[in-house]
Structure 1
């Protein structure tokens, strides 16, 4: 029994027509806490709980924190989540709905993370938002489910923030013998830390995050994510905030499902007919995001470039 659920794998007729390919969606936006994060976070929390952890500590103003909070409540383990000052009231409200203790600290995730690490006692477990082998092993289950359904794609489209999902999906592709299936890794301009790392040949720290897709906002991508680009065919793509936001609106219309701009980045690529023209069977990971509202997306669109 896992904390995450097996999510639907459906054909998207609107995206298939837009892309000129058969496009299937892995709907991880339907996880109980609203995003794919529960796969890896739930796996990590179950392992630490089994080892006797009495308290979970995390640092995330978004989906990872919500996944830790959900996992802790489900397992009966108290949770403290340290969030930066930029975290929305909605995100803090959702964390408290899951009975998490919310501590606000610092102007960035990095500063929140530094405080979170000081709060970890001898009987506690620290749950990293994206940079942990336990997370990658959990996220890999997404590919296992697609393989079990008998759908082998020509390409996988996914969004990249810190690189946890990319690391897990590559692990899942490799353990299913799908070493030949490329990953199209999508970031928004202003939060493209993987793209910068691939160009430089090593991870680099962005000066800041200049994108509304705040949950793609890791200033430095995980080393494992860059390692995946060397061990597996990974193609980097960067889209504008406007394209990501428009994809969120279009996806809501097409599939009655609201996702946040971080997820909209992958959908923007899938809606672009030129990009997927050379593939016939495409898997798009709809990673989700619980903190988005339609009003916020529409407000961002008015300011977006």
Structure 2
């Protein structure tokens, strides 16, 4: 068995907690080998498809899922093709190439890159979706199993939402561990808030474009399953500014010596202060989803 992901640390944040009040617990998915939580679900999907006979992996991604697929393919000895949109950072492109995957840049958005990747699927190929596949959710759910084994039962779980894959996986893990009454605070940046707009409309909607620097949250439409979960579980939607997300990344870098991208900073922006969505919560679990498509220099440039 090839272990593609690791069991990540769960730490109490002294900087983000309030002494005698709210404790903030960080599930450090930024510590995964490819740099984000994505390897849990992507890795599980790749292993499953390989066992079913796949001889090549195809993936469309804004960055982190493609990096995870490329990493999984290299570790498993399977060739990988990753299609990314033009908005994908040069750093993400470099990291995909470093894992020896074939990289194709196509289209102005994830939707266009995804359409090309799907059109390329041939017999023997497995298509690795970045967020909309039950195998992904099953893999991501393992992070909640790890938290549950420590005995911590939080009063709320805070996470960032892009296409909804992390949300679906976390909720799957919460329900199989009996956390059915623990609310989820789902955070997005303005301009990439397809989940918030879906909840407001009562159905999934497609954004005309992504107007946020948090390109990893740049799914113009969330997975249907992510919306369905909002009808079965308490999900509190929060939208923050790009500025707040970047500021949270900078604070996190100073306080925890870990670099994450603005897509992750969105969740940190809510968990790092007395946000109304967390009122009355004694223990808050934050999924530090990570992301490696932003550098320190890029964060500093955005912050200034």
**Where does residue 285 of structure 1 map in the other structure?**
287
Q: Unpaired runs of 5+ in structure 1? A: none
- Alignment partners' CA distance in 2, 1:157 and 1:186: 7
Change (3 A) 1:19 1:62: farther
Whether the aligned pair in 2 keeps the contact of 1:18 and 1:272 (CA below 8 Å) is no
Q: Unpaired runs of 5+ in structure 2? A: none
Change (3 A) 1:263 1:69: same
- Alignment partners' CA distance in 2, 1:202 and 1:42: 30
Equivalence map 1:12-23=2 (5 Å): 12-17=13-18, 20-23=21-24
**Where does residue 172 of structure 1 map in the other structure?**
173
Whether the aligned pair in 1 keeps the contact of 2:16 and 2:273 (CA below 8 Å) is no
Q: How far apart are residue 165 of structure 1 and its match?
A: 0.3
**Where does residue 184 of structure 1 map in the other structure?**
185
- Alignment partners' CA distance in 2, 1:108 and 1:24: 34
Alignment partner of 1:32 is 2:15: no
- Alignment partners' CA distance in 2, 1:43 and 1:18: 39
Equivalence map 1:19-168=2 (5 Å): 20-168=21-169
**Where does residue 253 of structure 1 map in the other structure?**
254
Alignment partner of 1:233 is 2:244: no
Q: How far apart are residue 85 of structure 1 and its match?
A: 1.5
- Alignment partners' CA distance in 1, 2:36 and 2:5: 10
Partner SS state of residue 18, structure 2: helix
Q: How far apart are residue 20 of structure 1 and its match?
A: 4.1
- Alignment partners' CA distance in 1, 2:180 and 2:233: 7
Partner SS state of residue 254, structure 1: helix
The total of aligned residue pairs comes to 302
The two structures have a TM-score, normalised by structure 2, of 0.97
Partner SS state of residue 259, structure 2: coil
**Where does residue 225 of structure 2 map in the other structure?**
224
Change (3 A) 1:12 1:180: same
- Alignment partners' CA distance in 2, 1:143 and 1:19: 25
Q: How far apart are residue 105 of structure 1 and its match?
A: 1.0
Q: How far apart are residue 168 of structure 1 and its match?
A: 0.5
Q: How far apart are residue 109 of structure 1 and its match?
A: 0.9
Whether the aligned pair in 1 keeps the contact of 2:87 and 2:215 (CA below 8 Å) is no
Equivalence map 1:291-302=2 (5 Å): 291-302=293-304
